[in-house]
Amino acid sequence: MIILGIDPWTATTWFAVLEKEGKRVTILEYGVITTRAGVDFSDRLVQIGTDLSEIIDTYRPTICGMERLFFLRNVTNGIDVAQAKGVMIYILATRGIPLIEYTPLQVKAGIAGNWFAKKPQVQKALKMLLGLTEIPKPDDAADALAIAYLTSLKIK
């Protein structure tokens, strides 16, 4: 089974693709979808949709986990990210890929066992859980890996 994890943003959307065979979980790829600042916002949304479609076409995930948006201060940024997330959800829905959403606290607790874990704790836990030789970097990539890993736990 192939699992896609997404940490949604506008300028940089991080993704991770995992494969689960039995209880073994393997990283197939992780990286970033980037959009250029200064271009029309609608063009940025098209870029996100195009790049996500390419990832889906390459790996054919059967399920996707995505971080739920949570903004306290910068509402304008939150609206932009919500629009980008809408594009991502549309792409997933048209491909019939089920989506599970997680709050940041759920991700921290699910990976590090602590609702208030800091990013280095999550990275260290991922290193152990995925049998990595190094801590996954940057920390946003680790967030996408964590989301994908949590989603893999939902699969029997």
To the nearest 10°, report the CA torsion of 89, 92, 96, 100: -60
Q: Rounded distance, CA 19 to CA 2, Å?
A: 5
Strands (E), 46-104: 63-67, 99-102
The CB density around residue 63, as the number of other CB atoms within 10 Å, is: 20
- Catalytic site positions: 7, 67, 140
